[in-house]
Chains A and B, each alone.
Chain A
Amino acid sequence: MKKYILKRVGMSVVTLLVIVLVLFVLMQLLPGSPFNDERLSIEQQQVLMSKYGLNDSAPVQFFRYVRNMLTGDFGKSYTISKDTDVALLLQNRLPTSLLLGGLSILLGSVAGLFLGVAAALKHNSLLDSAATFFSVIGVSIPSYVFALGLSYFFGFQLSWLPMLYNADDGLRAFALPAVALSMTVMATVARFTRTEMIEVLNSDYMQLVESKGVSGVHLIFKHALRNASISIITILGPLVVSLMTGSLVVEKIFSIPGIGQLMVQAIQSNDYNVILALAFVYSALYIFVMLAVDILYGVLDPRIRLAKEDAHG
């Protein structure tokens, strides 16, 4: 297992480097420059280009970037927050996105699991239909519709919760956006949980476990849900990444200082270093979550664990 994890980590690092390289090439192909404002003369543009080392050849820039990146230096922002370290920008914005994403995943998975388990146990009942209805709505209606609705009713009409993000409000500021974002998670998790649970509950080994006298919560959580969880985790992985790295529209509606909005702005204004850093963070998170999912498989399912140990020694 250890060797397997090490190997996977090594592969992840290589993947990340390749991603940075690809991004770097793409960035070279982007039309325009960060410094083509009306008020900058050609000479001034040259001064700025050389100040940031953008006149050097692409390979030189690339290796310098990677070298600095390893020390945590992601360069400076050219336009969004002039001359500010990109690391500082991320340091301020990333935690907000991660917290919001984390909260919505937590909320969505708990609610989704409950709905899914309930629907599976009460297969073909009214409750099942209601849960299915809920998840179809949750999957098909985009989160910004929920965001607008929640913000209008709970923020504007009832004034229960803040309509707009303000760090002073603490967790309360996250309430509405987290609920809005959790709807998709809830619906997706509920759907998969239901399908998997129905399958697992009808399997032979469940009947065996039952006949051995295992019952109640123990039966559901230890035996049924554990077997069903493999596929739930598989779909949850990418969801976690996409939610943690920010939802552009929901961030905009609630004015949340996350990284989703930052990415769009960076692309529009050719703020190369911000684009690179964000894409890097996104990829790194993705790879990390995928790795975590793989490890979790092993933890949850001894068969996978054993197979891997066999395969990788």
Chain B
Amino acid sequence: MKNLSKKSLWLSGAASLLLLSACDTEATDEVDESVEAEAPAETDEQVLNVQLNVEVASMDPQIATDGTSFEVIANTIEGLYQTDSDGQAVPALVESAEKGEDGLSYTFKLREDATWSNGEPVTAHDFVYAWRRLADPDTGSEYSYIMGIAGLVNANEVLAGEKAPEELGVQASDDYTLDVQLANPVPYFESLMSFIPFFPLNEDFMTEVGDSYGTSPETLLANGAYEVSSYEPAATTIELDKNEEYYDADNVVLDGVDYQVIKDSQQAMLSYQNGDLDLVTLAGEQVDLFKDDPEFVNVQAGYLWYISPNTLVEGLENANLRKALATSFDKQQITDTILKDGSVPADYIIPDGLAVGPDGKDFRETSDTYLEYDPEGAKESLEAAKSELGQDSFTFGLLVEDTESAINVAQVLKSQIESNLDGVTIEIEQMPKKTRLERMKQADYDLGLTRWGPDYADPMTYADLWVTDGNNNDGAWSNADYDELVYSSIDGELSLDDEARWEALKEAESILLNDAGVLPVYQKGNAVMVQDNVSGIDFHAVGLPRVYKFAVKE
């Protein structure tokens, strides 16, 4: 037995080794080959390698809703306008725009040298088709309501299914002239036109590919700086090549953009340090390590995180109690020790860097701040509330979605509110975001930590949230003066006077926050790393977070 087993052991061992080493040599051979093959190519080609945190949810401009999808779509499709490095709308496909004297009509002349990647010209019909598609209830677009914001004639009727999409206030009077009729003046109409849902699509192509639109490079069309060369639904790698047919191709330096979805922030950072990635987003705990690095970039995002108080809940109908809650937590501590990603305390609801007024200044530059952290003031408000309500202790649930940062923020909120306000108890309720949204929509909550991202560069993208019975006014806060100011700014008298409208929106903000209708917490920031040989990437707080058209990699 002993002799035999020795021999057989040797043999079986040798066999297994052979198998393993076969795998090994195969792998190393491939390594050598690819290193030789790729090394020279990399120096010739300027391809930007970008990390994404999440997969693209849709390549369809009228269906997509998230920043990631928007970013990839905007690299390949261009609209009437685009956002420049200062966040201002500048003409893209528009050659000249004529605004009616009453502000109720626009005539856009389109440039005639723009083509789709299949060679077809980009025409006014493509816009008409896409806009009707956006407004058509059958499309099921989440952003369809933006057509109402844009103020197009019959938009709300079409959205409600009362009129046919063909009755929407937009027509092509010839191939390169787009006529738009508005129901009321919209001061930010041109800026709105740089928003993805208003981007054109070619009807013939859409009919041809049908439901399979946006599922592969063959079922996508580009008219922008890049075109998709590799994509599949929920892909973790997406490759874009420079679009040689793009009318402004001479000004595009990059040969392409390669996206990789990397959800593990540590792995992403290692790849960045390896040189495999040119742009990564840092997680909160990484910021401390890299914040002094010259490649570290802090980007202000337009997202506002706030606590929504449900005014239908006993106790929260009291403004003093809401005020006590709103001023009892240290926002600076939350942004500096918990988030650390460039987020800043928010003593306001209209984010910094969102919108520029008729005076050419940012909204925040000329308006006040409200509800600053003030533990003493908070205690006074609480005492007032206690005597008004005849109650000494309050317990509120705080709905929080189950992401790490939201939970961490909620824990600080709880501990600070409880230590600054005697008799107030906060109970954190964690749940998936979808569940939190559902509970809030049904007004089945006390306090909810929630956020809103801007859709367009105007204070209205926030202000219209809190009108009485507003679609997103979960906490049912209501104030007649506020409603009047907002509605008049949308389509009333104020909408005709830019300066008065701007002042009115400031007043609206002060009404809302002096009554603590919402409890602002922080404005989100993003910490990113950009390799020092890369320049020309535009970061924006609204609409499109990142634009690569003018990016250069040396």
Binding site for B on A (CB under 8 A): 31-34, 36-44, 47-48, 51, 77, 79-84, 88-89, 92-93, 107, 110-111, 113-114, 117-118, 121-122, 151-152, 155-156, 159-161, 163-167, 169-172, 175, 201, 207, 210, 215-217, 219-221, 252-257, 261-262, 268-270
Contact = CB atoms under 8 A, between A and B. Distances in A.
A121 B5 contact: yes
Contacts of B211: 83
Contact of B30 (A36, A89, A170, A257): A170
Given A121-B9, A216-B4, A255-B267, A161 B31 contact: yes
A92 B232 contact: yes
A38 B437 contact: yes
B292 to A, nearest CB: 22
Interface stretch (B15-23, B325-333, B412-420): B15-23
Contact of A92 (B13, B28, B233): B233
A33 B434 contact: yes
A84 B207 CA distance: 17
B383 interface: no
Given A39-B65, A172-B27, A220-B12, A110 B55 contact: no
A253 B4 contact: no
Contacts of A169: 34
A79 B142 CA distance: 11
Contacts of A257: 234-237, 261
Contacts of A121: 5-6, 8-9
Given A37-B65, A88-B233, A114 B13 contact: yes
B85 interface: no
Interface string B206-250: 000001000100000000000000001111110000000000000
B276 A164 contact: yes
Interface residues of B, number: 68
Contact of B267 (A39, A151, A166): A151
Given A117-B12, A257-B234, A32 B261 contact: no
Contacts of A152: 270
Nearest to A210: B1
A44 B56 CA distance: 22
Contacts of B142: 37, 39-40, 44
Nearest to A175: B27
Contacts of B137: 44, 47
B236 A165 contact: yes
Interface string B137-167: 1101011110000000000000010000000
Contacts of B235: 92, 257
Interface of B: 1, 4-9, 11-13, 16-17, 19-20, 23, 26-28, 30-31, 34, 55-58, 60, 63-65, 137-138, 140, 142-145, 160, 211, 215, 232-237, 260-264, 267, 270-271, 273-274, 276, 431-435, 437-438, 441, 450, 452, 471-472
A40 B30 CA distance: 50
B215 A84 contact: yes
Given A80-B55, A122-B9, A257-B261, 17 more contacts: A32-B432, A38-B450, A44-B144, A47-B138, A82-B58, A111-B20, A114-B12, A121-B9, A155-B270, A172-B34, A210-B1, A217-B12, A219-B4, A220-B12, A255-B261, A255-B262, A270-B434
Nearest to B5: A121
A156 B274 contact: yes
A164 to B, nearest CB: 6
A175 B30 CA distance: 11
Max chain B Cβ within 10 angstroms of own Cβ: one of A48, A111, A164, A255: A164
B12 A221 contact: yes
B468 to A, nearest CB: 16
A43 B160 contact: yes
Contact of A82 (B12, B60, B260, B432): B60
B271 A36 contact: no
Contacts of A43: 160
Max chain B Cβ within 10 angstroms of own Cβ: one of A170, A171, A172, A270: A172
Contacts of A93: 234
